[in-house]
């Protein structure tokens, strides 16, 4: 039955090979279980966002499990899904921006924004108009976004690891107190994860987190409270979104950015994994529309449960490299996410101490920055807006503001370079919306 449903023989794979591939994918991306609640429960300054750690942990495991299994059953691809890195930091930046605009329930409004973006993406996927949206932003700009987010994540990782500290004169500086438990825990995790990554050991990020955890326990930075147990939820996040406020004009730019980020993540991951596995036939990917429908549905479901944008994971390539070729791989990966729910105390102990998870941000940042090679540096009308995004995201300490610098400057530079026809009407529309947002909305924030 499994052979017929998943076409195992046709894809030259076996049940054992698929299950091992599913385990490999899970080990490679399991870091999101620790990182997602740690990221969403506090803003960049370390202040509570309003989202409960346990509630985000529960939502992360549940939506990752069901979205991954749904992908396996509906699209029959070994492409796992979970809350996206990059999107989760943008989600936090949206909460901070909404708080600055006077929203008392900023995190609930942010969940509403993610829900709306997911519904729009689902409609666009069903209507098959995604090609027009994807083509509205140049490849260089898309690569610049990935690089900028990678740098931003890296910067935050150094902050969480206490390697970089505040300085009134220079804003930031290297921490001179290197003999400290925080830096020791961070350094060990980074070294272990980096060495294993170089040696191509599966689950390198996860092993780095575990190494940091052991040292943190030995140094007394965290307290062991048990292995087994469901996550403690002190404040419910499921179905707590504020759709009424999310439909306001103030939130429109955030909805658009979430939509584009999810769109590009999915398409990039889909094509990258498909090429690796040899799924592409005659320059086309079978069942591509099903993948986009699953991805959009997962984002809608994630917002309902209380987490940020859910998207396809490039770490799925690790499972493909281990022999995964069908959706049976996803059934194994998704089941392991559900099993992880039984280890709530362990995950909470790890996720609530930032130096443990900080090395994972550095490693993921190094992966994302590789996209700098895809930018067309010979064409300044492409490279300058892309660079503004790359530099703007970390320097403005805001993904939204960094994207706005590139999106607004891109059509202007193209127009005065006599290349206006290279810009789609949708890009002009995006630039206009963002410009209005900055002039009429952000200016009120003082």
Nearest one of 367, 277, 289, 261 to 317, comparing CA atoms: 277
CA distances from 149 to 189, 244, 368, 369, 395 (A): 21, 29, 8, 8, 11
Report pLDDT for 275: 64
Q: Report residue 242: phi and psi, to 5°.
A: -105, 95
Report pLDDT for 205: 80
Helix axes 399-416, 252-277, angle to 10 degrees: 90
For the record, the structure tokens of 329 come out as: 């791989």
CA dihedral 30, 36, 38, 42 (to 10 degrees): 170
Report pLDDT for 165: 85
Nearest one of 72, 39, 150, 119 to 373, comparing CA atoms: 150
Q: DSSP letters along 265-290, please?
A: HHHHHHHHHHHHHT--BTTB-TTHHH
Q: Which residues of the chain have pLDDT under 70?
A: 130-135, 264-265, 268-269, 271-272, 275-277, 280, 282-284, 400, 437, 440-446
Alpha carbon 55 to its chain centroid, in Å, reads 18
Report pLDDT for 272: 61
User: pLDDT of 212-239, one tens digit each?
Assistant: 989 999 999 888 877 788 888 889 999 9
Report pLDDT for 443: 60
Nearest one of 81, 79, 84 to 329, comparing CA atoms: 79
How many Å from the N-terminal Cα to the C-terminal Cα in the chain? 63
User: pLDDT of 58-87, one tens digit each?
Assistant: 999 999 999 999 999 999 999 999 998 878
Alpha carbon 12 to its chain centroid, in Å, reads 32
How far is 434 from 255, CA to CA, in rounded Å? 12
Domain residue limits, the chain: 2-445
**DSSP state at residue 104:** T
For the chain, the residue count is 446
Rounded to the nearest 5 degrees, what angle is found at the Cα of 333, between the Cα atoms of 259 and 352?
70
């Amino acid at each position: 039955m499994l052979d017929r449903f998943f076409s195992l023989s046709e894809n030259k794979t076996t049940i054992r090979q698929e299950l091992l591939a599913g385990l490999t994918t899970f080990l490679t991306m399991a870091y999101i279980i620790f990182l997602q609640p740690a990221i969403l429960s506090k803003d960049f300054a370390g202040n509570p966002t309003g989202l409960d750690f346990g509630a985000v942990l529960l939502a992360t495991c549940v939506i990752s499990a069901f979205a991954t299994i749904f992908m396996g059953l509906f699209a029959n691809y070994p492409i796992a899904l979970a809350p996206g890195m990059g999107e989760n930091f943008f989600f936090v930046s949206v909460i901070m921006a909404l708080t600055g605009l006077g929203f008392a329930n900023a995190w609930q409004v942010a969940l509403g924004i993610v829900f709306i973006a997911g519904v729009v993406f689902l409609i666009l996927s069903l209507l098959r108009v995604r090609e027009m949206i994807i083509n509205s932003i140049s490849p260089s700009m898309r690569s610049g976004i990935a690089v900028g987010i990678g740098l931003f994540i890296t910067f935050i990782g150094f902050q969480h690891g206490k390697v970089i500290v505040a300085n009134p004169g220079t804003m930031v500086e290297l921490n001179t107190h290197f003999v400290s438990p925080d830096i020791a825990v961070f350094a060990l995790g980074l070294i272990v994860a980096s060495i294993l990554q170089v040696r191509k050991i599966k689950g390198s990020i996860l092993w780095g987190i575990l190494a940091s955890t052991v040292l943190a326990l030995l140094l007394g930075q965290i307290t062991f409270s048990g292995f087994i147990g469901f996550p403690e939820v002190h404040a419910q996040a499921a179905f707590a979104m504020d759709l009424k406020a999310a439909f306001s004009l103030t939130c429109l730019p955030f909805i658009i950015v979430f939509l584009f980020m999810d769109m590009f993540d999915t398409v990039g991951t889909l094509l990258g994994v498909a090429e690796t596995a040899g799924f592409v036939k005659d320059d086309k990917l079978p069942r591509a529309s099903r993948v986009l429908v699953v991805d959009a549905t997962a984002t809608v479901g994630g917002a309902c449960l209380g987490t940020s944008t859910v998207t396809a994971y490039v770490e799925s390539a690790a499972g493909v490299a281990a022999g995964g070729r069908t959706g049976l791989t996803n059934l194994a990966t998704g089941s392991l996410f559900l099993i992880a729910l039984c280890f709530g105390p362990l995950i909470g102990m790890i996720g609530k101490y930032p130096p443990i998870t900080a090395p994972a941000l550095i490693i993921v940042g190094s992966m994302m920055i590789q996209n700098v090679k895809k930018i067309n540096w010979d064409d300044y009308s492409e490279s300058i807006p892309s660079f503004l995004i790359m530099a703007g995201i970390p320097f403005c300490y805001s993904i939204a503001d960094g994207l706005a610098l590139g999106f607004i400057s891109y059509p202007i530079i193209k127009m005065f370079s006599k290349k206006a026809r290279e810009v789609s009407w949708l890009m002009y529309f995006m630039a206009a919306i963002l410009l209005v947002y900055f002039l009429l909305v952000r200016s009120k924030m003082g």
